[in-house]
Structure 1
Amino acid sequence: RLTLIDAGHMLGSAHVILDITEQPGGQQRRLVFSGDIGRPDIPIIRDPQPIVDGTDILIMESTYGNRSHPPYPESEKELERLINETAGRGGCLLIPAFAVGRTQQLVYAMHKLHNDQKIPDLPIFVDSPLATRTTEIFRLHPEVYDAEIRAFLLDDDDNNPFGFGRLQYTQTVEQSKALNQLAMPAVIISASGMMQGGRILHHLRNRIEDPRNTILITGWQAPNTLGRRLIEKRETIKIFGEEYRPKAKVEVLTGFSGHADHEGLVGFVGQMEKKPSHTFIVHGEDESSNGLAEALRSELGLKNVTIPDTLQSFEV
C-alpha cells in the first residue's frame, strides 16, 4: 500500500510511505522515503505531517543535517533591513531565487512589509517566466495554504498573497532587459536560485560591480556553482565567460530555507513511536550527512544508520 502525506517542503511535496506484505498473511513491513522535509511554522503551505507510528526502514534527507536555521520571523526582519539599507544607498537588491517555493515566500513577505509600510515604496520585480507560471498555480490552489496565509487573505482587499501594487511580473525578454536600465532603488527576484543560468545572470553582470547593490542569497548553494563562489567571497567570478570583481554586498539568509534544519530532522525521527531498524541518510554534503547520522545515534539511540555510497545497494 502506498500512502502520500504532506512533506511541507513545497507545493505538492510528499513523504512516501510503503506498507509491504511479503505474501498473503505474511509479515508486514514499512518503508518510508522522506523526500525533502519541510519546516513547521513558515508561511504559505501546511507544515510537514509527522509519521507518528513510525517505520521499519527510513530513507531521509540531510541537507541541513549539521546546521540550525534562525527563526523565520528573524529572517523577515533581516529582509526588511536589507531592503531599507540597499534603498538608502540608492542601490538594487538582487535575489536569485528558486522558481518554486522560494519566490512565492519572498513575494508574500514583501507583500506584508509593503502593507505595513516597513519598506520604501519602491518597485519590486519578479523576472522569471517559470516563477510567474508557478505563482499562478499557487494562487489557484488556496486549499494548500496554512492558517497564517488564510488569515492574511481575510484582511487583504486584493485576496491575492502574491500580488500587490508595487509588484510586477515581467513577461517578455524586452521587459527583462529594461530592468538593466533602472537607475532607482528596486528589488529584482529572478532565477535560477544557484545562478547557474536564467535571467539572474544578466542582472548580476550589470550590477555586481556596483557597491550600492546587494545580492541576497536565500537558498542552499551547491559546490562549484556561481552562488557558492559568491558566498565564498572569491575575488573574481565569471559570468558568460567574462571576469567580474564583486563589489556589491553579498548577504545570506538561511531562514527562508524550505528544508528542515538539524533540530527538525532529528525531531522528524524522534516523534516516531516505532524507531526505524535501519536508517539511510541521503541528499546532503558529507558534513551534513555525518552530522545527522551521529545525532541519530547519540540522541535517539539508533543502532543501524548508514550513509550509502553512490550506486550502493542493500537488501532490506
Structure 2
Amino acid sequence: MVSGSNFLLEDEGVRILVDCGLKQCPRYCEIENFGEFPYDPATIDAILITHAHVDHIGRVPRLYKHGFRGRILSTEPTKEFAYHMLTDSMRILSREADELEVDHMYEESDVKGVVSLWEGVRYHEKMDVSGLSVEFYDAGHILGSSFIVVTSKEGKKIVFSGDLGNSPAPLIHPLESPGQVDYAVLESTYGGRVHEDIDTRRGLLEDVVESTVKSGGVLMIPAFALERTQELLFELNELVENGRIPRTPVFIDSPLAIKLTEIYRKYSKNNKYFNKNAVDLGGADNIFDFSGLKLVLETKESKAIADTPAPKIIIAGAGMSNGGRIQHHEKRYLSDPKNTILFIGYQAQGSLGRSILEGATTVSIHGEDIPVKARVEAIGAYSAHADQPALIDWLRPTHRNLKKVFLVHGEEDQMEALAAKIRDDLAVETIIPSQGDEVIL
C-alpha cells in the first residue's frame, strides 16, 4: 500500500514514531484511518516527520486527540506546510464524516495542539531525542523533505527513507546519501520502474501544451497542491518567458496550492533548500508567476473558469482526481476529444486518475457516468519519487555495513521487483513486512 506511513521504533523504553499518515482511499471510513492505533499515543515520546504530504502526517492530529503530548520534529518548511495540509485534510474528512454520520477523525483544536508541539530542525543537525541520536537529511522529494537516520543507544543506525526524490528536480537540491547504516526502511513506490529521461520533461510538457492549444482544447492537469503545482508553475514560467508555448490562460484552481506557493516564495531565495538554478532565477524574476496566470480562490471563481473560452490550462487538485475541484473540470471536459488530461504524478490503485490512465472509457464523477474521449497523457519524469535505479544507487554506498532492508510504501509488484534487484545487485537481505509486523534489530 502506497500511503499511510507509520513506524514505531522502541529502544530501552523510548518510543518514537516516524510519520503518522493517512491512508488515501476513496472514502473516510477505512479502518486504517478511523480505527484505533496499535499503540497507546500517550506513551509516544516523539514523532519524526519526513515531509508534509498527508500520507505521512494526516493522522498526527488524531494522535493528539488520543493523548499524545510528545515532541514533533521536522524541517522548518515541513512545519509550515503541515498546518495548511492538516487544516485542509480536516475540512475534507469532517465533511465526509458528516455525510456518513460518523465521528470526526479530529477537530481544529487537535490541529492547533499539534502545531504547538512542533519543532523545526535543520538538515545535518544532530538531535538528542530521549537518548537517541536523530539526524535529518535532504530527501529531494519536496521542499523540506527528509530521510532520517536514528542511532540507537547501542550505536546501531537505521535510516527511514520517507519518500526519496526523483533528482535532479527543477527547484530543490538532489537527495543526499545516507552514509553507512545498519538497517534501512526504504520506500518502493517505483521500485520496479525506470522513469523517462528527466531532461525530456519540459519538452514533453511543451508538446502537450502546444498540441492542446492547436486543437483549441482544454488541458486539465490534476496536481498535488504541494510541490507538483509549484514545479509546474516554475516550468510554465520558463516556457512562457522564453516564448516556447503560446500565451494561454492558466488557472491554478486550488486554494491550498495557492497558500503553499506563498511558502515556496518565502524560501525561493534560500540556497539551503532551493538549488542554485532556482535561486539564481528567483533573484531576477518571480519564478511562480507569469503572464496569463490566474489564481482561483473562491468557488464562484472556479465555476467561472467555464466562461473563459478554450484554449486554456487548468491545474487543480486532487492529484489523483479522487476529489477536489479537478473533478468538476473533468466532468465538464473529459467527453470532448479536443481536450487533454495530463497526469504528472503517481496514481494509486482505486483512484479515479488510475482508472482514466489505464484506459477506462467511462468514469463515474459525482454519481454521473462521464465518457472519456479526451486525450490521456502522462509524463513519468515529473514524478517526485525515485525510480528503481535511483533507489539502488541510494542504497549502494551503505551496503558494506547494511544488514537488512525493509521495503515499504509500495504496491506488491513494485516491492517484489525492488527486493529482487537489491538481493541481486547488493547481496543484502531484503524483507517485505506486513502491516503490524514487529522486528527485533
TM-score normalised according to structure 2 size = 0.68
Contact between 2:247 and 2:291, CA under 8 Å: does it hold in 1? no
Partner of 1:151: 280
2:383 aligned with 1:257, yes or no? yes
Partner of 1:5: 137
Say which is worse superposed, 57-66 or 164-173, in terms of deviation: 164-173
Contact between 2:217 and 2:340, CA under 8 Å: does it hold in 1? yes
Cα distance between partner residues in 2 of 1:109 and 1:69: 18
Secondary structure of 1:180 counterpart: helix
Deviation of the 1:73 alpha carbon: 2.3
Relative to structure 1, the CA distance from residue 82 to residue 128 in structure 2 (aligned partners, 3 Å threshold; closer, same or farther) is same
Cα distance between partner residues in 2 of 1:275 and 1:120: 53
Which residue identity does 1:145 align to in structure 2?
Answer: F
Which residue identity does 2:246 align to in structure 1?
Answer: P
Secondary structure of 2:135 counterpart: strand
2:171 aligned with 1:44, yes or no? yes
1:187-217 Cα offsets, whole Å, 9 max, x none, are 1100000011100000001101011100000
Cα distance between partner residues in 2 of 1:294 and 1:273: 15
Partner of 2:146: 14
Partner of 2:407: 281
Deviation of the 1:272 alpha carbon: 2.3
2:266 aligned with 1:108, yes or no? no
Deviation of the 1:72 alpha carbon: 2.0
Secondary structure of 1:227 counterpart: helix
Cα distance between partner residues in 1 of 2:399 and 2:356: 43
2:263 aligned with 1:131, yes or no? no
> Taking CA–CA contacts closer than 8 Å with sequence separation of 6 or more, which of the two structures ends up with the larger relative contact order?
1
Secondary structure of 1:126 counterpart: strand
Secondary structure of 2:232 counterpart: helix
Partner of 2:350: 224
Deviation of the 1:223 alpha carbon: 0.6
Matched residues, number: 306
Contact between 2:159 and 2:181, CA under 8 Å: does it hold in 1? yes
- 5+ long unaligned stretches in structure 2: 1-132
Cα distance between partner residues in 2 of 1:203 and 1:275: 51
Deviation of the 1:39 alpha carbon: 2.2
Q: CA RMSD in A?
A: 1.1
Cα distance between partner residues in 1 of 2:399 and 2:363: 50
Deviation of the 1:33 alpha carbon: 0.4
Deviation of the 1:153 alpha carbon: 2.4
Q: Taking every aligned residue pair, what percent have the same amino acid on both sides?
A: 35
Partner of 1:25: none
Cα distance between partner residues in 2 of 1:148 and 1:109: 12
TM-score normalised according to structure 1 size = 0.95
Contact between 1:280 and 1:306, CA under 8 Å: does it hold in 2? yes
Cα distance between partner residues in 1 of 2:292 and 2:398: 46
Contact between 1:269 and 1:275, CA under 8 Å: does it hold in 2? no
Structure 1 runs, 4 residues or longer, greater than 6 Å off: none
Which residue identity does 1:31 align to in structure 2?
Answer: I
Partner of 1:313: 438
Cα distance between partner residues in 1 of 2:358 and 2:399: 42
The within-5 A match list for 1:64-79 is: 64-79=190-205
- 5+ long unaligned stretches in structure 1: 23-27
Say which is worse superposed, 37-46 or 60-69, in terms of deviation: 37-46
Secondary structure of 1:271 counterpart: helix
Relative to structure 1, the CA distance from residue 309 to residue 209 in structure 2 (aligned partners, 3 Å threshold; closer, same or farther) is same
